[in-house]
A and B are shown apart, each in its own frame.
Chain A
Amino acid sequence: MSSGLNLLIGISMGLNLLALGSSRLPSLIRVAAAQGVVLGLMPLLMEHHFSWLVALTAVTTAVVKGVVIPTLLRHAMRAANIDRDLDPLIGFIPSLLLGAAGTIAAVALVRVVPLLPEHRGLLLVPGSVAAILTGFILLIARSKAISQVCGYLILDNGVYLFGLLLIHAMPLLVEAGILLDLTVAVFVIGIIVDRIQRAFDSLDTRKLTALHE
């Protein structure tokens, strides 16, 4: 039971590193989508008894994160006709090292976090912290707008993982709301990316600093 869950979390941690190491936009989107699917399936494993509600949540999450959002992103990417290469602000190897260090630190940190007894054996908290850190590194170290959206998605996956600790306390409505927010955000970003590309002929966020004051 918990070993299956831990396996999924382990896969998600691996996907984190894959995201940090990927040098092209489509593969980054694919990694983020895969992680979304993996995490989306987790509620099914956490429940002892099958429940329609949880199953519905899991399937919806997996579909939205694994299919809808990546489709939107690919569409935006094609519409804006972006160069597929990621030009990193922090190189791939340093990013990988940072991500690995973050993951190790997250596993170490879990010892000092007070947890409920039933969560002790799980990697939920370190997995969540590792994903959040990875998201941050992507947001900081990649300059293209779409890659930043991917960083944002991975960050959100981390938050979602943390939310699984509260799966019994959190109503379905909240879960659905978060998912809807995410989808709408990505949808809007897809449109904005197109506009930015048309207006500035670039999606490099480093060039978008004229409005800072």
Chain B
Amino acid sequence: MTPTGPLLVIALGSALGAAAFLRFPRAWLALVLVGTAAGLGACAFVLWGGPAWDWPGGFEVAGQPVHLRLDGLSALFLALVCVVGGAGAVYSMGYWTDAAHPRSASRGRLWWSEILLAMGFILVATNGLHFLIAWEGFVLGSFFLITLDQSRREARQAGWLYLAASHVGTLCLFGLFGVLAARLGTWELGPVRGHPELAPLFWLALIGFGIKAGAFPLHIWLPSAHGSAPSHASALLSGVVIKMGIYGLIRFGGWLPVPAAAGWVITALGLVSAVLGVAFALGQHDLKRLLAYHSVENIGIILIGFGFALVAASRGHAAWGLLAMAGALLHVWNHGLFKALLFLGAGSVLHATGCRRMSGLGGLWRRMPWTAALFALGAAAISGLPPLNGFVSEWLVYLGLFDAVHARGASSLLAVVSAILLGVTGALALACFTKASAVVFLGAARSEAARRAHESGWAMLGPMVALAALCAAIGLFPVLAWPAVARAAADWTGAGPAAAAPAELRTLGLCSLVVAILGAAAAALLWRRTAAGSLRRASTWCCGYAEPTARMQYTAGSFAGIITGWFEGVLLTHRTQVPAGQGPGRAPIVDEGVPSSLDDHTPEAVLERVVGPAARVVMRVALGARSLQHGRLPAYLLYVLAGLAGLAAIIFLACILT
């Protein structure tokens, strides 16, 4: 008797119970926490050595027998759902209170419970029809979380775009599951490697799940949705919701027969997502949109790892495939943790200042030391700096790439290119988070709101501390996380027991510990020095000016200006400069009354340059077709005659040809 089943029953029971206590926030929170803790326990049991949980229900829902299964791969994702779901629920108590949002707070709780349940069912469903039902519920739940603040126009538009994009994805999934069920005669899902004719279905899965995962160029819904949702919902969206797409891809990449080019295409998608995601992030001056584009980048890193695992699988399961896969799976966890942390931090800033534009922030470290420190830790983690968790997973992917270089064939070339581009991505991400942290937390306040900012309460800081602690724990003790990841990777292919931790991981853990201890010691020393000496507080970034103002600081745009210039052709950044003209000798014409300024705006290029024009063409054609419907009976009869003539022509041609 394993504890998995009872724990999952507790999780389900408390999640359902929570829905009954929407009007009582504390009771709701307690039930959600019990549910997520129970779910987390079940996942931990499966991941760290327990057997997979399999429950043939014995009754039918929607005409299909219920069959649930929690194996290593599902457990890995379910654990993330539980952690971020619990943390966000606590955070919402301080962030989206009933006092501040009397209309939407309880609705937010409802959809929060619903989406956690739906994601849980997606992860344990083994029946295609039930998977689709849960998937629809999950799409709906995230739509209502994005549009929680219905009074804001941009939130409604973001929700609309999300719903439209999701439906395109769901349409592909309907095609995928429909064809699978028609070919196999059953909705039950499972490995179907023995049907090579089903291989093209993988491309349907790639589009359907790729839209949800937000891989470039399928990410059009992502920046506005993440940017406009309430911050705890953004944390869930970015940390968990887009991972459902990754789950689907990995799951069906393991079950379906995979076309030969799949690994290459996914790696290429990953590379494009990683580099362009971070490039677009550099161009953003809205803190939450910046974080949203980093989701695209991190999904890219995960896809690179997964793509190499597929390439390895097509070459007889080379060992480097396992490393790349483990890196990708660990990055799923890591990105979920630090991106949730960063969004909660951004929410804390938003809560304190009411401002998302970085040009209105600055100097917040003094006013909000906890938020600033936790955000900086998250920023270091997402930039892949040791000794934090982001480094561990990226390093595993690198190890896989380096080993793949030694293998013969074209894949070694791909590995070299991927390693270089991954390095570029890491460097750009570091630049981007230097920009974000520096502009928001360092320097001097750029607006009155930033000057009067206040630190958030513990309901908001507590979940952030917990997420930060998990980030640090995985970074410092990667060996402890390895069995879980190895178990999930083993369950992916169904090939034998989980692999032992590679020796490099132990070395890395030791190095990280040493770095962490040395860093802590250096910080303590520095602190003592400054505390002992006469510590003088002065305005920051004064650059030797006698009378510095906040306007002299680097802005978000000027900080990233050089790098965004490299990607000018893709980003389509739009600059506005005041004064616009230049006098003789390149000197700007200065008007005393108008302060000079430089501002730029980076739009969502795929949406505005590809999807938008395509949609307009479709609209024009559709409106043109409407003019056929004008009410003149003779013309309608003409249509009928033309149709008849067409049919006659077809018959005539067929007679001539045969």
Contacts and interface: CB of A to CB of B under 8 A. Distances in A.
A212 B629 contact: yes
A140 interface: yes
A143 interface: yes
A14 to B, nearest CB: 22
Interface in B614-645: 629-635, 637-638, 640-641
A109 B652 CA distance: 8
B632 A209 contact: yes
B629 A205 contact: no
Contact of A209 (B631, B638, B641): B631
A97 interface: no
A139 B629 contact: no
Contact of A205 (B632, B638, B640, B655): B632
Given A112-B655, A136-B641, A205 B648 contact: no
B632 A206 contact: yes
A94 B583 CA distance: 72
Interface in B269-306: none
B651 interface: yes
Interface residues of B, number: 16
A140 B631 contact: no
Contact of A212 (B630, B634, B637, B648): B630
A211 B631 CA distance: 7
A206 B630 CA distance: 10
Given A206-B632, A211-B631, A212-B630, A140 B651 contact: no
A136 to B, nearest CB: 5
Contacts of A210: 631
Interface string B584-627: 00000000000000000000000000000000000000000000
A141 B648 CA distance: 22
Contacts of B640: 136
A89 interface: yes
A209 B633 CA distance: 8
Contacts, number: 40
Contacts of B634: 89, 139-141, 143, 148, 205-206
A113 to B, nearest CB: 9
Nearest to B651: A112
A181 interface: no
B648 A109 contact: yes
Nearest to A129: B648
Contacts of B648: 109
A118 interface: no
Interface in A25-79: none
A16 B637 CA distance: 18
A112 B652 contact: yes
Contacts of A212: 629-631
Contact of B637 (A109, A112, A140): A140
Nearest to A211: B631
A170 interface: no
Interface in A90-121: 109, 112
Given A109-B652, A112-B652, A112-B655, A213 B637 contact: no
Contacts of A141: 634
A89 B635 CA distance: 11
Nearest to B633: A205
Contacts of A143: 634
Contacts of B651: 112
A209 B632 CA distance: 6
A140 B652 contact: no
Interface of B: 629-635, 637-638, 640-641, 648, 651-652, 655-656
Q: Which 9 A-B pairs have the closest CB atoms?
A: A212-B631, A209-B631, A112-B655, A140-B634, A139-B637, A136-B641, A140-B638, A140-B637, A205-B633
Interface of A: 89, 109, 112, 133, 136, 139-141, 143, 148, 205-206, 208-213
21 contacts: A89-B634, A109-B648, A109-B652, A112-B651, A112-B655, A112-B656, A136-B637, A136-B640, A139-B633, A139-B634, A140-B634, A140-B635, A141-B634, A205-B632, A205-B633, A205-B634, A206-B634, A208-B633, A209-B630, A210-B631, A213-B629
